[in-house]
Homo-oligomer: A and B are copies of this chain.
Amino acid sequence: MSSDQTSFRIVVLASGSGTNLQAILDRLHGSRGVEVVGVGSDKAEAFALERARSAGIATAVFPRDDHPDRRTRDIAMADWIESLGADLIALAGYMQLVDPSFVARFRDRIVNVHPALLPSFPGLDAIGQALEHGVRLTGVTVHFVDEGTDTGPVIAQRAVEIPANCDRAELERAIHAVEHEIYPEAIGMIAAGRVRIAGPDSRRVIVDQ
């Protein structure tokens, strides 16, 4: 590895095309002391891996079927992440639930971006859930990952209005554009040491100005 050992080191996990990975690469990687040191996936064909290779970043694939169970797979993935000296793990369209042992090993060092204003619409197809529910506002949440599904402490949120006669594709574009803004912003704040959880019994996140 030629990476600067004093930088803030991020591993990104992605299952799909990796547009949030690309936003992190474009807006953070190699600047402000932040470096993406690895991109992992559960899918060998994820285009996110291609983006990583193009950027000269280490990649690894941890398919579910290559391991007896999720826990074993996540231990292998965690070992790889630790070998890279990661300070933070950023889920970016990673479509697998991570094992509780993985969460415990990287407590408060895993973040995720979710396409809704949590706690509204956790889980799969948050955009579809919001459209079906008929809300006028939805948005994007960046949060720490805990053992629940999209239940961890909230770091950043931004609203997106659902216009009248909303086309789903249009709403998806608007939400993804916001993701690509606030996810790198939030990760940059964490890298700068400005983000902490208020206390052991709190789920409030303090962002120092």
Contacts and interface: CB of A to CB of B under 8 A. Distances in A.
Size category, A interface: 20 to 34
B139 A154 contact: no
A133 B203 contact: yes
Given A159-B159, A206-B164, A136 B154 contact: yes
Interface stretch (A4-12, A43-51, A74-82, A115-123): A115-123
A205 to B, nearest CB: 6
Oligomer copy total: 2
A59 interface: no
Given A119-B120, A164-B207, A158 B134 contact: no
A204 interface: yes
A130 to B, nearest CB: 9
Interface string A140-155: 0000000000000111
Interface string A25-65: 00000000000000000000000000000000000000000
A135 interface: yes
Interface of A: 117-121, 131-137, 139, 153-159, 164, 198, 202-207, 209
Contacts of A204: 131-132, 134
Given A117-B135, A159-B159, A164 B202 contact: no
In this complex, which of A121, A134, A139 has the most chain B Cβ atoms within 10 angstroms of its Cβ?
A134
A134 B164 contact: no
18 contacts: A117-B117, A119-B120, A120-B120, A131-B204, A132-B204, A133-B154, A133-B203, A134-B198, A134-B202, A134-B203, A134-B204, A136-B154, A136-B157, A137-B139, A137-B157, A137-B158, A137-B159, A164-B207
